[in-house]
Amino acid sequence: MDGTVLRRRAGAAAGTYASIVLGFLGTIVAARVFSTEVLGLFTLVIASAGFFQTLLDLTIEEALIKFGFRYITREDWGRLRRLFRRTFVFKAVGAILAGVALVGLGLGAGTVFHHSELRTPLLLSALLPLAQSPEGMAAVPLMLRGRYDVRGGFLAFSMALRLAAIAAGSHFGLTWTVAAIVLAQVVASAAIGIAGLLAFHRFPRGDSRPLGEDGREILRFIGQSSAATGVVSLRSTLTPMLLGMVSTAAQVGLFRVAQSPQTGFNAVSAPIRLVLLSEQTRDWERGNIEKVFAGVRRYTLLASVGSIVLLPLLLVFMPQIVRLLFESKNLGAVDAARIIVAAGAVQFVVGWSKSFAVTIGRPKLRIWTHGIETAVLLPLAITFGWLWGARGAAIAVLASSIVFALAWAVLFARIRREPPPSAVVPLEPEIVGLST
């Protein structure tokens, strides 16, 4: 393998691992400084911001990567530039809608969460989608140039700023913490925005020309990707929000502590998924279909072996882990953490699914699979959360994770048996959809 590729993979792994460790440290700092109840309120604010941002801030990046590689393969530089200009507008509109939704939630915080003191932090969090929106788009040119190592470095930089914001703001209360996080995100987005712009300008120049019939396909891809990530937001961010509605803020705080082992599994797979998204999408567009399938099988095998080794140790030593990292005041999270670490192992084994649907150009598969997962998760989270608090919500997460993994196992087997897609043929320009 080329030494440059190895260095970039190593850089992507280092940066992504560092970003997740820094994010985990942020949770530890918040859990140690805040009381369990205030930690729960902090979790509600961050989860609400993440929910509306993922739900309404359109997922443009996946379409840019998929079709960006297509145009680079064709050396169609004019359409590449038109693609970025047209999708930027959609991204801005989505961020504004997410901010407006957070303002509405902030004004009704007393009714929804039964905590009127959440009003100001939620109103401040409405700035987060606007501040974070440019970061995702700016990362795409780096991915298209194969510089996922640089992307990993900026992920680490962004999370380092957020850790500093939590460390500084938490001593002054929840409102100041949220304000500091918004400021940190503005700085992070500006930094990667400059790098992304420089990377984009390194592509050959070409006269902007209509996207043609690709415009309709791009619109459909964006719609399906956005719907898929919207469903994902229901799974990952709505659960603590629902728990906050049917239980206490303290139980939300314990649930946040319990989610930490899941962060560990994401840390292991994140750089691998970053590389898979870039390299497998390129291979698929070049017609190397078997190479993509082989990569999925290899990832699944290695992830399964890793889970078998790590899971028993985490289950046995969970009380010591919680006491060491989050202090004795949060030992009530141990049972929930044991359940969620099992869910994290299941999700780790099928972690390839996060990029696979984008790679093969069928993001609607994520809608189906995450839709099934969400249909299991939400009613169970409400019912079990009401009955058993954080432990009940954790049981809901485990059940839905198992269903999600089974759904992807069936889909992958069916896709593997399908005939290979025909080669992509350049289309004549036609003013359709985004091409105007």
pLDDT tens across 225-280, in order? 777 666 766 667 888 999 999 999 999 999 999 988 777 676 667 667 767 776 78
d(CA 405, CA 386): 26
Most confident listed range (55-64, 77-86, 117-126): 117-126
Q: What is the residue type of 423?
A: A
pLDDT of residue 13: 74
Task: Identify the weakest region by mean pLDDT among 185-189, 297-301, 353-357, 376-380.
Answer: 353-357
Cβ distance 80 to 288 under 8 Å? no
422-to-193, 284, 289, 419 alpha-carbon distances in Å: 36, 11, 11, 9
What single letter denotes the amino acid at residue 198? Answer: L
Separation of CA 57 from chain center: 12
Strands (E), 231-296: none
370: which 2 tokens? 């995450």
Q: Of 204-208, 346-350, 358-362, which range is least confident?
A: 204-208
| Residue 47 in this model has a pLDDT that exceeds 80 | yes
Q: What does the alpha-carbon distance between residue 391 and residue 394 come to, in Å, rounded to a whole number?
A: 5
**Which tokens is 50 given?**
């993440």
Residue 180: predicted pLDDT: 97
How many residues appear in the chain? 436
Condensed to tens digits (0 to 9), the pLDDT of residues 314-330 reads 999 999 999 999 999 99
Q: Which residues contact 267 (CB under 8 A, 6 or more apart)?
A: 16, 17, 20, 21, 24
Cα–Cα nearest to 366, from 192, 257, 235: 235
CB-facing half-sphere around the CA of 63: CA atoms within 13 A: 29
CA–CA distances in Å: residue 204 to residues 92, 207, 282, 399:
26, 10, 19, 49
Q: What is the pLDDT of residue 108?
A: 92
Is 50 exceeded by the pLDDT of residue 23?
A: yes
Least confident of 95-99, 159-163, 402-406: 95-99
CA 380 to centroid of chain Cα atoms: 23
Q: Can you tell me the distance from the alpha carbon of 182 to that of 53, in angstroms, rounded to the nearest whole number?
A: 14
Lowest mean pLDDT, pick from 149-153, 227-231, 370-374: 227-231
Please, what is the Cα angle at 111 between 108 and 112, to 5 degrees? Answer: 80
φ/ψ bin of 341: left (φ > 0), alpha (ψ from -120 to 50), beta (otherwise): alpha
The total of structural domains in the chain comes to 1
| SS3 state of residue 436 | coil
Question: Residue 221's pLDDT is what?
Answer: 78
Contact criterion met (CB below 8 Å) for 57 and 98 = yes
**Does residue 43 surpass a pLDDT of 90?**
yes
- Full domain range(s) for residue 51: 3-435
Evaluate if residue 423 carries a pLDDT over 60.
no
Give the pLDDT confidence score for residue 228 in this predicted structure.
67
| Residue bearing tokens 């937001």 | 233
* 147-157 mean pLDDT: 86
